[in-house]
Chains A and B, each alone.
Chain A
Amino acid sequence: MKKDEFMDAMGGLDREFLKEAEHVRRKNGKGRKWIGFAGLAAAAVLLVAGSIFLIRRNIISGGSPVAETGSSIPEDTAGEKLTAETEQTETKTFSEQADQSEDPGVTASESESRAAESTEDTQQAEQTEAESGTPDRFGYVGLYDTGICYIRGTEPAFAEGISLRETMLYPAPCESIYEFGKIYPGRSMEIIRAVTVGTYDEHDSLTDSDWYLVSTGTTDEIGYVKKEDVANAAETFVEATEPWQLKAGAVYYTDRSCSAPHTAETVIGPLWGSVNPDMENQVWKLEGVSGIVVYIKDLDALEMFRNTWQPRNGRAG
């Protein structure tokens, strides 16, 4: 069976199944929007209530409420707080999100889907980031069979035949990857999965690769995993013991490891295939993966990573 045949066969599915899906696609989407509005309304109420509380507290402590409220928190401090909060949100790791996702409640799934889907949100986040002074330092690292390459924009450089060996690790501002849609750096694995590279032929060449770099959402380490093991069925990882078991927050090596930047905040995702977090067993399931993309937010870390990483298989030199 070919992929085209499968997709064509899916097109002939029983219309009852499609009706079921139509029902969910339409009905629940609306419902959840209302929940979103309700959440916003609740947040607004809390904000107002909090403001009133602060003002009242200042009134009780004496003095002009407006003036004292304004002066009680120096502007700079408030700005720093805002920045810190923004950064905290920005740097939320995937596993933290995955932890949240264990709760199928509205907040968690809203948060996940929001992180992954809304380009408007992305723009807003970028704007907030710019306003808060957080440097725009994002980088995507694509790992290929011959070394490190980068992914930037919709037409990756290596699609044009540039030697990966010569390709510098390149900090790609998120705007350049924005066209893929659903990009929200550092917040969801989905953003990585949205990244597509090369042509079919180049993808085919990936399958002959030997080694891949693997990291996890929370780790400060990066290591190699042999491709054959990465590509094994998920159960292999669930049942395996070190060094092949990939636990969230930890990384395992084969015979060679590298010391990765401790400041790196990384998220993994496949170039091909899928990575599914199995929260029950706290492991990452990697299936049919022929490449891993590592997301490194910090530019300095990116540089350090570039300097410390050495290709495992001699081909990259």
Chain B
Amino acid sequence: MSDDGSILKLLHDRDEQAVAAVSEKYGAYLMKIASNFLTDRSDREECVNDVYLRFWQEDAATPPEMLSVYLVSLTREICIDYYRKNHRKKRIPSEYTLSLSEISDLAADEDSQPEAQLERLWLTGVLNRYFRTRPKEVRTVFVMRYFYMDPVSEIAKKTGYSVSKINTMLSRERKRLKSCLGQEGIEG
């Protein structure tokens, strides 16, 4: 199996083997990530294929610093877009759906407006500043839940904490974050 450096070299050389190598090394992992957002296997496959396409279209001159993180971020973004596009009306059970329900006290339900892009960038900045002040373990649990959409049980398994502790951590963190956002003038 190729290492990341070799894969990026293939990409740089515009060798189509780069996609095959990514698929071989990260395909299953990306499908697992996608499964947290989408329940239908064919939907997941479509999204992961889009990830490969976007990867192939990536500017080889500025390769991602960490390939796995880059691919996961891409997968997340594509899956969320797909989810929104296809499941706007219907409530489909997935970890992403559950995550959305959990942040009800943090953010509102309504669809966002396109002109809010700048605000989102600003919001990302606020989030990054906030999480830099938080203990690493809390931050990691929050990221696992609301970035990767990992099930709580899986987070518990991987962190060694109990499910109840994870739930408590997340609950407290949401409250704390809400308070922080409120101070920044951001209301849910």
- Provide a sorted-by-A list of 15 A–B residue pairs whose CB atoms are within 8 angstroms: A5-B107, A7-B146, A13-B124, A13-B128, A13-B143, A22-B66, A22-B69, A113-B156, A194-B93, A196-B92, A203-B91, A274-B167, A277-B164, A278-B168, A288-B105
CB distance from B171 to the nearest CB of A (A): 5
Q: Does B111 contact A (CB under 8 A)?
A: yes
Instruction: Determine if B107 and A276 form an interchain contact, defined as CB atoms under 8 angstroms apart.
Output: no
CB distance from A272 to the nearest CB of B (A): 6
Instruction: Determine if B91 and A198 form an interchain contact, defined as CB atoms under 8 angstroms apart.
Output: yes
Interface residues of A in 272-289 (CB under 8 A from B): 272-274, 276-279, 285, 287-288
Query: Which residues does chain A contribute within 8 Å of B111, judged by CB atoms?
Result: 2, 4
Q: Does B20 contact A (CB under 8 A)?
A: no
Instruction: Determine if B146 and A10 form an interchain contact, defined as CB atoms under 8 angstroms apart.
Output: yes
Q: Give the CA-CA distance A15 to B140 in the complex, in Å.
A: 12
The proximity string for B residues 109-148 relative to A, scoring 1 for CB distances below 8 Å and 0 otherwise, is 1111000100111011011100110001001100110111
Q: Closest residue of chain A to B88, judged by CB?
A: A200
Query: Which residues does chain B contribute within 8 Å of A4, judged by CB atoms?
Result: 84, 111-112
Given contacts A5-B112, A11-B147, 19 further A-B contacts (CB under 8 A): A2-B109, A6-B123, A10-B147, A12-B127, A13-B131, A14-B131, A15-B73, A17-B128, A21-B143, A24-B158, A25-B158, A100-B162, A112-B163, A113-B156, A182-B151, A190-B153, A196-B93, A199-B89, A272-B104
Residue tally, chain A, CB below 8 Å to B: 68
Q: Give the CA-CA distance A106 to B159 in the complex, in Å.
A: 10
Q: Does A152 contact B (CB under 8 A)?
A: no
Partner among A20, A101, A117, A288 whose Cβ is within 8 Å of the Cβ of B162:
A101
Q: Is the interface of A mostly helix, strand, loop or mixed?
A: helix
A-B pairs under 8 A by CB, number: 210
Known: A6-B123, A21-B148. Contact between A11 and B128, CB under 8 A?
no
Residues of A within 8 A of B (CB): 1-15, 17-22, 24-25, 28-29, 32, 98, 100-104, 106, 108-110, 112-113, 115-117, 154, 180, 182, 188-190, 193-200, 203-204, 234, 272-274, 276-279, 285, 287-288
Interface hit among B1-9, B11-19, B54-62, B95-103: B95-103
Query: Which residues does chain B contribute within 8 Å of A287, judged by CB atoms?
Result: 105, 171
CB distance from A301 to the nearest CB of B (A): 26
Q: Closest residue of chain B to A194, judged by CB?
A: B93
Instruction: Determine if B124 and A7 form an interchain contact, defined as CB atoms under 8 angstroms apart.
Output: no
Q: Does B152 contact A (CB under 8 A)?
A: yes
Query: Which residues does chain A contribute within 8 Å of B162, judged by CB atoms?
Result: 100-104, 108-109, 112
Instruction: Determine if B110 and A104 form an interchain contact, defined as CB atoms under 8 angstroms apart.
Output: no
Query: Which residues does chain A contribute within 8 Å of B158, judged by CB atoms?
Result: 24-25, 28-29, 32
